[in-house]
Amino acid sequence: EAGVTQSPRYAVLQEGQAVSFWCDPISGHDTLYWYQQPRDQGPQLLVYFRDEAVIDNSQLPSDRFSAVRPKGTNSTLKIQSAKQGDTATYLCASSLGTGDEQYFGPGTRLTVL
Amino acid sequence: GDSVTQTEGLVTLTEGLPVMLNCTYQTIYSNPFLFWYVQHLNESPRLLLKSFTDNKRTEHQGFHATLHKSSSSFHLQKSSAQLSDSALYYCAYMGYKLTFGTGTSLLVDP
């Protein structure tokens, strides 16, 4: 069974540029999560979906970040105007249902110069 | 709100010695679900252990932990550390979302 896949694996931007991250969860998993993991810190939840619906996006900086999961499968996380403080690894995870074990993808390591 | 505390930022020990990484939590929920995740260098977090049963030991890959609701603790232990155990260990609590602790870096020396 394929795991969670993410692309790109790395991104380097100048401040003010936009970037999109893509995530393909494990087939059959209805819940998908996006985490931000700054260097030397634990993952911090940004947003999560059950199917195509956003369940919690309270930690997503809504002025610059957006996330969608239009068909309840793949998901895209977008940063509209990146800041140096956005430098982190962005992890996607999926689970069979909310509260079940989460499986993490390899992450996208973002550097904003 | 919910929180998870890992008191040690770095634990360094010699191969063969026992491992104990501390984890305590705070929550309003009476039935917490606790996890330990391990993250090796340049890899993503991977589930190591999980438990929601009070006073029941759970084991995996030589590691074990017991959820103690009376002390709100879920400490991770292993009887004999191996070099390959060197990694970041995160304790996490599932309330309405998965909340991670700050992590403990375990460094095992030969």
Per-residue pLDDT of chain A in tens (113 residues, 90 and over written 9): 679 999 999 999 999 999 999 999 999 999 999 999 998 888 999 999 999 999 999 889 889 999 999 988 999 999 999 999 999 999 999 999 887 889 999 999 999 99
- Chain A CB contacts of B100 under 8 Å are 42-44
CATH of the domain at A101: 2.60.40.10
Residue A113 placed within a domain: no
Say how far apart CA B91 and CA B89 lie, in whole Å: 7
In a domain? residue A50: yes
The token duo for B38 is 């391990």
* Contacts with A56 from chain B: Cβ below 8 Å: 96-97
* Residue of B64, B98, B67, B103 lying closest to B80 (CA atoms): B64
Q: Which of A33, A45, A104 sits opposite B44 (nearest CB)?
A: A104
Take residue A47 and report the two structure tokens written for it.
């947003």
Domain of residue B93 covers: 3-109
Q: How far is B84 from chain A (nearest CA, A)?
A: 20
**A33 near A102, Cβ under 8 Å?**
yes
Q: Residue A10 domain-assigned?
A: yes
* Residues pairing with B10 in the sheet: B105
Range of the domain at A83: 5-108
Per residue in A43-75, pLDDT (tens digit) is 999 999 999 999 999 889 889 999 999 988 999
A56 within some domain:
yes
CB A69 within 8 A of CB A32: yes
- Say if A59 falls within a structural domain: yes
Q: Is A19 among the domain residues?
A: yes
Q: B53 near B66, Cβ under 8 Å?
A: no
Interface test with B, best of A36, A40, A58 (most B CBs within 10 A): A40
pLDDT of residue A1: 62
Tally of domains within chain B: 1
